[in-house]
Amino acid sequence: MLVRLAAERATGALLRDHGTLYLVDGRVVHAESPAAPGMDVLLTTAGRLPREGWDEAVDRAGAHRAVGRFLVDSGRLGDGELEICHLGAVFDAAFFALSPTSGPTRFRYGVGHWFGTVRPVSAEAVERETLRRRELLDAVWPYASVDTAPVVPRPAAPHQGVGARRRALLAAADGVRTPAELARHLGRPAFHTLLDVRRLAAAGLVETPLDAAPDAAPAPPAPAFPPVPPVSDPDIALLRRLRDALEAHL
């Protein structure tokens, strides 16, 4: 759907279960997701902007959809800072907004975002980056259970390096906060925090909850063939190869 909207140079908001993408002329200008800290969190948590400075910018420029521009023009942020922070936030939110979901996808033509346009990105680049990020997470540690569970640190082995950023993450992990909550707490992008948590899991530095059992498969339809007599010693390797071959064809 995103590709089609980009092709027709659509302007509006793409609403999905886990977030919203805003397009202007088919290019992505903004994204937001409940799972990802917004620009306000990123800028105020580290003390780059006082909360009042942000609120004032929204009050004065929100109606004109030019909050980003206002932050620069009023001397609160540099152009480079605005672009770095905003791009980071857009790709972060887009990662969650474009996550696979069974929910509906809707597009509201003409709807814009009050933050305004900073540095539009092609929809294709956003989609490609989102896929790359999903693969990167799985390449680091292929079990998604750590993404949503509270982060519980484990002791490091002697001389095991952790790195300053992950040390700060572990220090904030109180055994209750989830990766999304830690991201908000530290004022970091949520994807970066997920990635760090997966890296910590791979290094054995956080507890790794067992993956929830996959959803029970729906009851199979009545067999079209007469039932096969029970086999006492199934050839597991053969069955696996058979399954892989079938999946490759489907």
Task: Pick one of 32, 191, 198, 206: the residue that binds another protein (CB under 8 A).
Answer: 191
Would you say 114 and 16 are in contact if contact means Cβ atoms under 8 Å apart?
A: no
Binding segment for another protein (CB under 8 A), chosen from 26-34, 61-69, 78-86, 174-182, is: 78-86
Q: Helix 179-186 and helix 190-202: axis angle, to 10°?
A: 120
Residue 109 backbone phi and psi in degrees, to 5 = -65, 140
Residue linked to tokens 């597991």: 236
Interface with another protein by CB under 8 A: which range of 80-88, 98-106, 213-221, 225-233?
Answer: 80-88
CB-based contact 42:31 (threshold 8 Å): no
Q: How far is the CB of 187 from another protein (least distance, A)?
A: 5
**By CB under 8 A, is residue 22 in contact with another protein?**
no
* Given 186, 190, 197, 206, the residue binding another protein (CB under 8 A): 186
Among 128, 240, 241, 243, indicate the residue that binds another protein (CB under 8 A).
128
Segment near another protein (CB under 8 A), from 21-29, 98-106, 159-167, 228-236?
159-167
Is residue 72 close enough to count as binding another protein by CB under 8 A?
yes
Span interacting with another protein, options 40-48, 53-61, 146-154, 229-237, rule CB under 8 A: 40-48
Q: Which is nearest to 99 in space by CA: 19, 216, 14?
A: 19
Task: List the interface residues with another protein, window 211-240 (CB under 8 A).
Answer: none
The residue type found at 34 is: P
CA distance 141 to 245: 25
- Is 132 among the residues that bind another protein (CB under 8 A)? yes
Residue 84: CB atoms within 10 A of its CB come to: 13
Which residues neighbour 162 within 8 Å (Cβ) at sequence distance 6 or greater? 156, 170, 203, 205
Q: Mark the segment that binds another protein (CB under 8 A) among 11-19, 129-137, 144-152, 208-216.
A: 129-137
CB 89 within 8 A of CB 46: no
- Coil, strand or helix: which one is 28? strand
Q: Which CB, 150 or 187, lies closer to another protein?
A: 187
Q: Can you give the binding site for another protein, defined by CB under 8 A?
A: 42-43, 45-48, 72, 75-85, 87-88, 91, 119, 128-129, 132-133, 136, 161-166, 168, 186-189, 191-192, 195-196
